[in-house]
């Protein structure tokens, strides 16, 4: 008897030691593998920032500090950094409150067609940012913009009334791009997963719907709201297309377009451009402690074993709220898409005086171009693989960080955040150096696998942190119940975690397909003529003054592909996970 009593603790200790040892091996493998693709390119960029040779990739390197000295004394750099914060601040100040209100309305109220409206925001997100910007240029260009053209025909209008090439135009285009849409898409599943008992308790005590939202709902949603804010801070230095098209003509540069100027001038200033990435590292150093402090607080759990869904009635506010959302959706997608479609059938976009005014010649030219056909095939393959693999990978990484006590998970979290600090163009440059300078990896250059690595890396920071917010919402008792029933980790993951997080997984699938299909700056240095995507082809068309209509057609085809996939995936996802009857 005594022997048995002594054996049990020994057996349990041995099992615990084996589990810890196994988790250590797993974490070591994860850190080494991801570190190679996340950290190594960044380290290469830092190393190359000290290479002052005239030709960085040719000949022997010359080491020195000239790149650092010139970069921070170059005229306009601090102004460009300030412009980045300024545009981001204006956009965030409007988009965050609007996004929260719309997400709360769709998820927590009995508003008609809530799921259809939510999908309409997905459609708006699926329209590439480049396409949205081109659409609004066609509408608000001071010379040939459709709205300005018709407005000038009014007797009391003298000259154009709108000018898209301005700071206000950049701010407006940023809002109409992904400024509002992204927040609605991310926050709506979080609001839908919140227990209605907490809100009903406030209303029973006499609080109005507005007071309940301010005093109960928003504090409970602190985790996803802080995560979205932190993720949006990364976008200070990520935005590119809108600022390039609208800011360059008026001499207004932000951080990303200033880097683009350094990289594309002759000779390219790769070293100076790399030095500027250190600014984003400083921003990340401020973000990570805040989000980690929020993540590991348990008070914001909103799904437990006693979870009960519920919706509230807007009453007299239902009609005006619906009208406001429909007007916003029209501005987000219908108006720019209509401009793109109209411009694609015009002999010259925006010029109504030409005869003939309309033609189908541009469509015939684009659809019969072999480069276009290859771009469609590459885009589909790249997008589908990213849509399937990325959510599963990000959910596993988020689970390790949030739901385990494995040693090294903090390092993994920092590594993921740091990988999102580098703007897309510099990330692509780092991978280019890695592929060409690392033995055995040169064969990946110019292949679909190189592009796939880029799009997965570029989406890992947002994807993993979105999944972290979902895991935080689910109480420990859900997982404990499965373990007590005898389920192992794999069975628990597929029977508990995947159903509970299905809507978020579907969200990430659409995110990653759209991101992979619309990627430009991050993959443009790694793509070849055989692996060109529709987004790169549309950018090439747009930069050529003779192919404006072809750019519109390519963007329309890209949007049709992403919307078709998004509809199919979302239709499946709505039948899974937490539902409100």
Residue 57 within any structural domain of the chain: no
What pLDDT sits at residue 13?
55
- pLDDT at 151 > cutoff 70: yes
Q: What is the DSSP string of 358-414?
A: B-SHHHHHHHT-HHHHHHHHHHHHHHHHHHHHHHHHHHHHHHHHHH---TTHHHHHH
Tokens of 255: 């951080």
**CA torsion angle for 189, 190, 196, 201 (degrees, to 10)?**
-150
pLDDT at 236: 73
Per-residue pLDDT reduced to its tens digit, 410-426: 888 878 877 766 667 76
Give the Cα separation of 228 and 209 in Å (integer): 24
Number of domains observed in the structure of the chain? 1
pLDDT at 440 over 60: yes
Q: How many angstroms separate the CA atoms of 116 and 108, rounded? A: 15
E-assigned strands of 258-317?
A: none
Q: What are the structure tokens assigned to 307, written together?
A: 């979870």
pLDDT digits (tens, 9 = 90+) for 269-299: 777 777 776 666 666 666 666 655 655 554 4
d(CA 344, CA 244): 22
pLDDT, position 487: 66
| Phi and psi angles of residue 563, each rounded to the nearest 5 degrees, phi first | -65, -40
Q: Would you say residue 149 lies in a domain? A: yes
Whole-number pLDDT of residue 198: 62
Is there a domain that residue 114 lies in?
A: yes
Mean pLDDT (whole number) for 526-551:
79
Q: What is the pLDDT of residue 293?
A: 62
Average pLDDT over residues 354-375: 87
User: Phi then psi for 346, rounded to 5 degrees?
Assistant: -95, 150
Name the band, by pLDDT with cuts 50, 70 and 90, for residue 115.
confident
Judge whether residue 204 has pLDDT over 80: no
Cβ–Cβ < 8 Å for 341, 556? yes
pLDDT digits (tens, 9 = 90+) for 7-57: 455 655 554 555 566 777 888 888 888 878 777 877 777 787 788 877 766
Note whether residue 491 is domain-resident.
yes
Confidence of residue 143 (pLDDT cuts 50, 70, 90): confident
Average pLDDT over residues 456-483: 74
CA distances for 392 relative to 52, 224, 415, 505, 562, angstroms:
42, 20, 18, 8, 20
Mean of per-residue pLDDT scores for the chain: 77
Using 50, 70 and 90 to split pLDDT, how confident is the model at 456? confident
pTM reported for the whole predicted model = 0.74
Query: Would you say residue 111 lies in a domain?
Result: yes
Please report whether residue 33 resides in a domain: no
How confident is the model at residue 19, as a pLDDT? 53
Q: What's the pLDDT score for residue 449?
A: 83
Residue 447 lies in a domain: yes
Alpha carbon distance 231, 384 (integer Å): 24
Residue 51 lies in a domain: no
Average pLDDT (148-177) is 85
The CATH code of the domain that includes 104 is 1.10.3720.10
Q: Work out the average pLDDT over 207-221.
A: 70
Look at 7-11, 264-268, 376-380, 503-507 and tell me which has the smallest mean pLDDT.
7-11
Q: Are 126 and 566 in contact (CB under 8 A)?
A: yes
Domain with 224, as residue range(s), is 65-573
3-class state of residue 51 by DSSP: strand
pLDDT for residue 58: 67
Q: How confident is the model at residue 326 (pLDDT cuts 50, 70, 90)?
A: very high
**Residue 197, pLDDT score:** 64
């Amino acid at each position: 008897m005594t022997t048995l009593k002594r054996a049990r603790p020994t057996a349990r200790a041995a099992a615990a030691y084996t589990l810890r040892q196994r988790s250590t091996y797993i974490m070591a493998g994860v850190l080494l593998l991801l570190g190679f693709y996340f950290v190594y390119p960044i380290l290469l960029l830092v190393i190359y920032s000290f290479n002052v040779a005239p030709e960085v990739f040719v000949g022997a390197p010359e080491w020195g500090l000239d790149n650092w000295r010139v970069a921070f004394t170059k005229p306009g750099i601090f102004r460009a950094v300030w412009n980045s914060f300024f545009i981001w601040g204006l956009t965030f100040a409007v988009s965050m409150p609007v996004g929260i209100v719309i997400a709360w309305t769709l998820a927590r109220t009995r508003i008609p067609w809530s799921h259809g409206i939510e999908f309409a925001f997905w459609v708006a997100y699926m329209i590439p940012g480049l396409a949205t910007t081109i659409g609004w240029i066609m509408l608000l260009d001071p010379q040939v913009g459709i709205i300005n053209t018709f407005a000038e025909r009014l007797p009391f209008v003298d000259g154009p009334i709108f000018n898209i090439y301005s700071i206000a135009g950049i701010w407006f285009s940023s809002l109409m791009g992904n400024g509002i849409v992204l927040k609605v898409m991310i926050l709506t599943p979080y609001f839908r997963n919140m227990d209605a008992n907490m809100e009903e308790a406030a209303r029973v005590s006499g609080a109005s719907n507005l007071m309940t939202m301010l005093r109960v709902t928003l504090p409970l949603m602190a985790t996803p709201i802080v995560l979205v804010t932190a993720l949006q801070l990364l976008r200070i230095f990520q935005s590119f297309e809108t600022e390039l098209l609208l800011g360059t003509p008026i001499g207004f540069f932000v951080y990303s377009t200033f880097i683009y100027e350094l990289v594309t001038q002759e000779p390219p200033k790769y070293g100076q451009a790399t030095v500027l990435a250190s600014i984003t590292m400083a921003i990340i150093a401020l973000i990570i402690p805040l989000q980690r402090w929020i993540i590991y607080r348990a008070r914001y759990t909103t799904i437990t074993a006693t979870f009960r869904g519920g919706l509230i009635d807007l009453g007299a506010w239902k009609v005006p709220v619906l009208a406001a959302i429909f007007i916003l959706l029209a501005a987000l997608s219908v108006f720019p898409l209509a401009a793109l479609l109209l411009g694609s059938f015009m002999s010259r976009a925006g010029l109504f005086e030409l005869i003939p005014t309309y033609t189908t010649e541009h469509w015939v030219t684009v659809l019969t171009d072999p480069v276009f056909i290859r771009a469609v095939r590459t885009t589909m393959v790249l997008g589908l693989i990213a849509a399937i693999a990325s959510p599963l990978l990000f959910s596993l990484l988020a689970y390790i960080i949030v739901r385990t006590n494995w040693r090294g998970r903090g390092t993994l979290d920092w590594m993921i955040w740091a990988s999102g600090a580098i703007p897309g163009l510099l990330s692509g440059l780092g991978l280019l150096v890695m592929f060409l300078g690392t033995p055995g990896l040169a064969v990946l250059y110019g292949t679909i696998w190189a592009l796939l690595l880029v799009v997965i890396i570029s989406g890992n920071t947002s994807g993993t942190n979105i999944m972290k917010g979902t895991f935080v919402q689910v109480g420990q008792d859900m997982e404990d119940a499965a373990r007590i029933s005898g389920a192992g980790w794999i069975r628990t993951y597929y029977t508990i975690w995947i159903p509970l997080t299905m809507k978020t997984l579907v969200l990430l699938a659409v995110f990653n397909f759209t991101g992979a299909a619309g990627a430009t700056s991050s993959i443009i240095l790694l793509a070849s003529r055989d692996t060109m995507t529709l987004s790169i082809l549309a950018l090439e068309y747009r930069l050529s003054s003779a192919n404006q209509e072809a750019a519109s057609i390519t963007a329309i085809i890209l949007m049709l592909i992403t919307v078709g996939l998004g509809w199919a995936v979302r239709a499946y996802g709505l039948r899974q996970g937490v539902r409100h009857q």
